[in-house]
Amino acid sequence: MKTRLFSAVAVVFFLSAASAQSATVNHFELIKGPFKTGEDVTTACLQCHEKQGEEILQTPHWKWKGVPRTVKGLENSKEEYGKANLLNNFCTDIEGGSRPFCTKCHIGYGWTDNSAPLNDKTKIDCLVCHAKEGNYKKALGGYPDPVLLEKGKMDLLRAAKSVSLPDRNNCGVCHFFGGGGDAVKHGDLDSTLIKPTKDHDVHMGGPTDMTCQACHITKEHRIAGASTFLATNDGRVGCEDCHRDPHRDSAEHKTLDRHMKTVACQTCHIPLFAKGQATKMSWDWSQVGKDIEPEEKFGKETYAKHKGSFVWDMNVVPTYAWYDGKTERYLKGQVIKDPAQTVYLSKPTGSIKDPNSKIYPFKVHRGKQPMDSKYHYLSIFQNYGGLWTHYNWQKALVDGAKASGLPYSGKFQFVATGFYGSINHEVAPKAKALKCSDCHFGRDTRLNWQELGYTGDPMRVGGRFETNAAAPAQDSRAAQK
């Protein structure tokens, strides 16, 4: 009897989930308390989980950096890279004195300066990933919110008693709110995914209800997953990990399989992103400090005096680019050759000529941020405790230079920046995947074939693996790309 792949995958998933659930120990009677601080809870956890504490201290989740194996040309670098020392065009950087604010999402307590995170197991925040009750919330420096504790609205003992395997709430409290707010940074991750419909995300929605770690396999607290947001990874996640022969029951099996040599699964199966709520598409820091009456779009603010102006969008058609699994990253202090051109802080590498590259979907976030006019590199400034309070760029840049060690000449200008962010979530049901006419037949299509390196629509001029790709395509090769 022919067995459908989805059925096999579903059985494996649900058996794995059941096995993992049965392995979870109920801590209600084991944890006694009382607890006054987060470190008190961690000390109790370490009585049984000392090995797990050692594991955490070695992970990119803890260090916020790692071997830059996803950055082209830096795979063998002895220096580690990540959120701890790279720039973006959202909140831009954490080295300029803003770490107490940013580490509200760190899995530890008290990392408030530019030194390495403390090599102290008692500073690990076990609750942020494992607590299900107690209204556990983090505040500055990653500590439990002192206001909630003082008012009795957070219960550390109840939170500790409720620990179990992470769910989407645990992961999402940081990853849905990256970049300073819900749906800001990631185009395909926001709080809608806590309880999405199946149409919104076929994996996390409806009866499937998959946890993050169902795909992001975790071993010794090292979590698999790589994207253009990251410089390192502890293993990659691929659709083919579960979907070994996804089109075998389709009448277009052979055509779709030819596409898979050039087109990533995500390209056809995530036609739109930001389906649940709008995501930030642009952030203009040059507007900071102005008295502008803010407007709203999609229920989001388009201006904040301490941050500048924003552009939001919803149900966004992705930007498509070749991707070989690596990125080009802008590094701290790197000289900008032409400030008149967009500076890309993260951009996928790959090309039509590389058989290992495929066409992937991306969110491209645009920005305007300061560049040192003399040294021609992106400046690091202090936002939290600095610009966000006094709106003074000179002071923010001077203070940011002191904290980061990157010199500031005293003069700056704003430059356009771009950041390619991977799109891997919000997978649509197969009935809503892209159809041939969405990309081909000379209509107003979503893919710009010339920008991708083709002479025209591959349905007409032939695919990239053919010897004469510029020649008109024949019926026998019409769908080959």
Instruction: Give the DSSP letter string of 385-447.
Output: IIIHHH--HHHHHHHHHHHH-----S-EEEEEEEEEEE----PPPGGGSPPHHHH-TTSS-SS
Cα dihedral 260, 264, 267, 270 in deg (nearest 10): 110
Is the pLDDT at 14 greater than 50? The verdict is no
* Mean local confidence (pLDDT), 137-147: 96
The per-residue pLDDT for 474 is 34
* Mean local confidence (pLDDT), 124-136: 97
Strand partners, 368: 284, 416
Question: Cβ of 2: how many Cβ atoms within 10 Å?
Answer: 5
The per-residue pLDDT for 285 is 98
Is the pLDDT at 299 greater than 50? The verdict is yes
Is the pLDDT at 264 greater than 90? The verdict is yes
Q: What is the model's pTM? A: 0.91
The least confident of 127-136, 323-332, 451-460 is 451-460
Is 275:425 a contact under the CB 8 Å cutoff?
no
* Rounded (to 5) percent helix, strand, coil in the chain: 30, 15, 55
Query: Percent of the chain beyond pLDDT 70?
Result: 91
| pLDDT tens per residue across span 329-346 | 999 999 999 999 999 999
Question: Cβ of 322: how many Cβ atoms within 10 Å?
Answer: 20
Please give the Cα distance from 429 to 202 (Å, whole number).
6
Please give the Cα distance from 187 to 281 (Å, whole number).
9
Site of tokens 């102006």: 309
Is the pLDDT at 374 greater than 90? The verdict is yes
Contacts of 451 (CB under 8 A, 6+ apart): none
The per-residue pLDDT for 443 is 67
246 cis-preceded (ω within 30 degrees of 0): no
Paired sense of beta strands 279-284 and 303-304, if any: unpaired
Paired sense of beta strands 279-284 and 308-313, if any: antiparallel
Diameter of the chain measured on Cα atoms:
76
Please give the Cα distance from 255 to 478 (Å, whole number).
9
Please give the Cα distance from 282 to 302 (Å, whole number).
10
Is the pLDDT at 437 greater than 70? The verdict is yes
How far is C-alpha 229 from the geometric centre of its chain's CA atoms?
5
Most confidently predicted of 356-365, 431-440, 454-463: 356-365
Query: Percent of the chain beyond pLDDT 90?
Result: 84
Site of tokens 């049965």: 22
The per-residue pLDDT for 6 is 40
Cα dihedral 52, 54, 55, 60 in deg (nearest 10): 130
Is 412:366 a contact under the CB 8 Å cutoff?
no
The per-residue pLDDT for 116 is 86
- pLDDT band (50, 70, 90) for residue 444: low
Q: 135 is written with which tokens?
A: 């209204």
- Position 50, amino acid: E
Is the pLDDT at 453 greater than 70? The verdict is yes
Is the pLDDT at 17 greater than 50? The verdict is no
| pLDDT tens per residue across span 380-435 | 999 999 999 999 999 999 999 999 999 999 999 999 999 999 999 999 999 999 99
Q: 217 is written with which tokens?
A: 């396999």
Please give the Cα distance from 146 to 221 (Å, whole number).
28
The least confident of 20-29, 244-253, 313-322, 408-417 is 20-29
- pLDDT band (50, 70, 90) for residue 294: confident
The per-residue pLDDT for 445 is 72
45: left (phi over 0), alpha (psi -120 to 50) or beta: alpha
| pLDDT tens per residue across span 34-66 | 999 999 999 999 999 999 999 999 999 999 999
The per-residue pLDDT for 313 is 98
Is the pLDDT at 9 greater than 90? The verdict is no
The per-residue pLDDT for 422 is 97
Average pLDDT, the chain: 91
| pLDDT tens per residue across span 167-188 | 999 999 999 999 989 999 999 9
Is the pLDDT at 470 greater than 90? The verdict is no
